[in-house]
Amino acid sequence: MRTVLANPAKMIARGAPRVIRNDQELAAYTEALFELTALVKPSRSEAAAIELLTMLVDRYEQEHYSVPAADAVSVVRFLIEQQGLAQRDLIPQFGSERAVSMFLTGQRKLTLDQVRKLSARFKLPADVFIANG
């Protein structure tokens, strides 16, 4: 019976991918990942490398750069501020200025239709407006 990894320690010593420990390694692995994903028809080993590097990069980024989930009100307030909008600018997504105001003061939750419209307006995934609130 053949082993999948004959000697992992020797493989790593020769430069095989390993757990990312710092931002410099993250940059190198990300660059390698970009190069591999740019290939039109990656080989089996290149596809396996893409999968492995993706897992390693994701793990490092989750540990070091994860963004805490924000409630929907905070997200919408942030977007309003960043884009220089007024509450009335969101009337098409909420139906009325009163509905916008009630949502921003925590008196009303978002409906599914409002989530869809906000997602489309701000070009963000719907779960951004659903997480924690």
pTM: 0.53
Q: How confident is the model at residue 5 (pLDDT cuts 50, 70, 90)?
A: low
90: helix, coil or strand? helix
pLDDT at 38 over 70: yes
pLDDT number for residue 103: 96
100 HSE (CA, 13 A, CB side): 18
pLDDT number for residue 77: 94
Could you give the CA distance from residue 133 to residue 123 in angstroms, rounded to a whole number?
Answer: 19
Could you give the CA distance from residue 106 to residue 74 in angstroms, rounded to a whole number?
Answer: 10
Note whether 71 and 47 are within 8 A (CB): no
Sequence spans of domains, the chain:
8-65, 72-130
pLDDT number for residue 68: 72
Could you give the CA distance from residue 15 to residue 11 in angstroms, rounded to a whole number?
Answer: 7
pLDDT at 133 over 60: no
pLDDT at 3 over 80: no
User: What integer is the mean pLDDT of 7-25?
Assistant: 87
CATH dotted code for 72-130: 1.10.260.40
User: What integer is the mean pLDDT of 68-76?
Assistant: 88
